[in-house]
Amino acid sequence: MPLVTAGVVVLDCAEPEKLALFYKLLLEAEDTDATANLVEIRAADGFRMAFRRDMNATPPSWPRPENSLQAHLDFLVEDLDAAERRVVELGGRPLEAKDVPGPYEERMCSDPAGHSFTLRRGRQAAPKQG
């Protein structure tokens, strides 16, 4: 048994209820716990996220250098266009309109509170050419 195991990814934000709803709908997750200052969700695959109230939370400014990236999440998707449309429907926004160079197809987005994340094609037979 490992000494340390993965727990919960926690994002600080001013409105945890709203941010939890965004990720709950995006991941088709369910609520597992909620208090006045913390909401936790669990996706069908077991991935857990929590959203902690911090009225002084400052969203990352990536790709601008001030306040930088802080951290970001990667989500695996089968259809990049459909996943990006869903992010926008739920109040998130794309951060880059062009394809990112490299062997994987991915798109950068942010949630309604400004936390960045990547939508990455999860099942791909061969690396992207070019």
Give dist(CA 18, CA 25) in Å, integer: 11
Residue 121 DSSP symbol = E
**Token pair for residue 35?**
């208090």
- Global pTM reads 0.73
- Contact between residue 17 and residue 33 where contact means Cβ atoms under 8 Å apart: no
- Contact between residue 59 and residue 115 where contact means Cβ atoms under 8 Å apart: yes
pLDDT in tens, the chain (130 residues): 665 567 789 999 999 999 999 999 999 999 888 999 999 999 999 999 999 999 988 877 666 666 665 666 888 898 889 999 999 999 999 986 565 555 568 888 999 998 888 888 875 545 555 5
Domains of the chain, earliest start first: 7-55 (3.30.720.120), 58-130 (3.10.180.10)
Q: What is the pLDDT of residue 127?
A: 52
Q: What is the pLDDT of residue 123?
A: 57
